[in-house]
Structure 1
Amino acid sequence: MLWDFKTSGIPDELFDRTERVPITKEDVRAIIVSKLRLKDGYTAIDVGCGSGSITVELAHQTKGKVYAIDSDQDAIDLTQKNLSKFGFTNNTVVIKGWAQEVLPSLPKVDAIVIGGTTAGTKELINSAFSKLNIGGRIVLTSILIETIYNALKAMEDLDSKDVEITQVTIAKSKRTSTGTMMISRNPVIIFSCTK
């Protein structure tokens, strides 16, 4: 197995990547996975799967069925490639399409990750929330102010509990010719709640 540790936060360099398809960085990914409060056998949905890094983490942590959704064919191809690389093709389903159209056809699950939205945030959160089992967790990430506002409002309007907002700002070290410097990454807002 490529990653034989139980912990999340698989190093970014282990994933196949392309310039065009985003990856959720390992440190932020580890926090997202921790906010889901996963157990063995849990089922999950990764909305906006991008490179598939979160899908791989979900499959690794739960050993349950994981559904990955993205509207971009390059993201679908890359997610499938990474799932194959890590050996998680048997318990995952990768679906090309818009989440609002795909979610109604999926079964209820224990955990849902929404990787940022560009429009229809409230509708997407409502649709995702309807697919959660009681006690299930939803986590949404965003770097856009508009999404942050809309996500907060949507989560407050739901019959949810444990609504939490976490801002994460990560700086990673980089060796230079004179020493080591810290390079900051974009701050990410992570919303989480329980149904």
Structure 2
Amino acid sequence: MNRQWNYAGFGIPDSYFIRGKAPMTKEEVRAVVMGKLRLGQEDIFVDVGAGTGSVSIEAALKLSTGKVYAIEFKEEACNLLEANKAAFDVKNLEILKGRAAEEIRKIKGFHRIFIGGSTGEMMEILDETGDRLLTGGRIVITAVTIETLHEALQGLKARGFQEIEVVSIGVSKGRSTGNYTLMEAQNTIYILSATK
């Protein structure tokens, strides 16, 4: 099935993606993440902990002559990545199956990287990123816990990243209950961004 997204803006609805139990960066957070990445048409982009591939798909649709590497080690998530790649018919998306630090070593250089999941390997991923992210490149990291936020922030500072910014996103969505609409809060997400 070919899923068309014919709009210039970011924020493909979550319902467009084939979902399973794998994590997914939700629509509203994804729109902010994509804005912080500042993608160029020819960029090489790396998505670490790609999950269902929502960020990878958004990036692939914007990079007319660039390329996306989606890194994921969980089997179910890799299957969902493949399914969403086919559903959106993106040709410039390559799925790398394995642990992030090892897979990043296979990419000679890249312009942008998003870390949506580190599975306890944040420092190793940041070390590899520091070696391969091109000068002027952007890194964006999402965190749902204060511990991950702290670790990522300290890691960026220790590696000399510039223009470090932290944003906290709190999203509530309306849910109909008969004649009324209740606003249900989602988890607060921390978004870190920086430039090499």
Question: What interval of TM-score do these two structures reach, taking the shorter chain for normalisation?
Answer: over 0.9
CA contact (8 A) 1:8 1:61 kept: no
Correspondence for 1:68: 70
**Shift, 1:120, TM fit:** 2.6
Unaligned runs of 5+ in 2: none
What letter matches 1:151 in structure 2?
A
* TM-score normalised by length of structure 1: 0.95
Correspondence for 1:12: 14
Correspondence for 1:21: 22
CA contact (8 A) 2:166 2:193 kept: yes
* TM-score normalised by length of structure 2: 0.95
1:87-139 deviation per Cα after TM superposition (whole angstroms, max 9, x unaligned): 10x21110110001111111211110001323131221121232211111000
Tell me the distance in 2 between the aligned counterparts of 1:181 and 1:130: 47
Correspondence for 1:46: 47
CA contact (8 A) 2:48 2:118 kept: no
Correspondence for 1:86: 88
Tell me the distance in 1 between the aligned counterparts of 2:107 and 2:171: 34
> SS of the residue aligned with 2:62?
helix
**Shift, 1:29, TM fit:** 0.3
Bigger mean CA offset, 45-54 vs 171-180: 171-180
Tell me the distance in 2 between the aligned counterparts of 1:121 and 1:53: 21
What letter matches 2:67 in structure 1?
K
**Shift, 1:145, TM fit:** 2.0
Tell me the distance in 2 between the aligned counterparts of 1:24 and 1:142: 11
Correspondence for 1:36: 37
Tell me the distance in 2 between the aligned counterparts of 1:129 and 1:81: 31
CA contact (8 A) 1:141 1:190 kept: yes
Correspondence for 1:56: 57
CA contact (8 A) 2:50 2:117 kept: no
Correspondence for 1:159: 160
Tell me the distance in 2 between the aligned counterparts of 1:118 and 1:66: 21
What letter matches 2:17 in structure 1?
F
Aligned length: 193
Correspondence for 1:110: 111
Runs of 4+ deviating beyond 2 Å: none
CA contact (8 A) 2:111 2:138 kept: yes
What percent of counterpart residues are identical? Answer: 36
Correspondence for 1:145: 146
Could you say what the CA RMSD is over the residues aligned between the two structures, in angstroms?
1.1
Unaligned runs of 5+ in 1: none
CA contact (8 A) 2:24 2:51 kept: yes
Tell me the distance in 2 between the aligned counterparts of 1:174 and 1:107: 46
CA contact (8 A) 1:142 1:188 kept: yes
CA contact (8 A) 2:18 2:80 kept: yes
What letter matches 1:61 in structure 2?
K
**Shift, 1:158, TM fit:** 1.4
CA contact (8 A) 1:36 1:138 kept: yes
> SS of the residue aligned with 1:186?
coil
**Shift, 1:79, TM fit:** 0.8
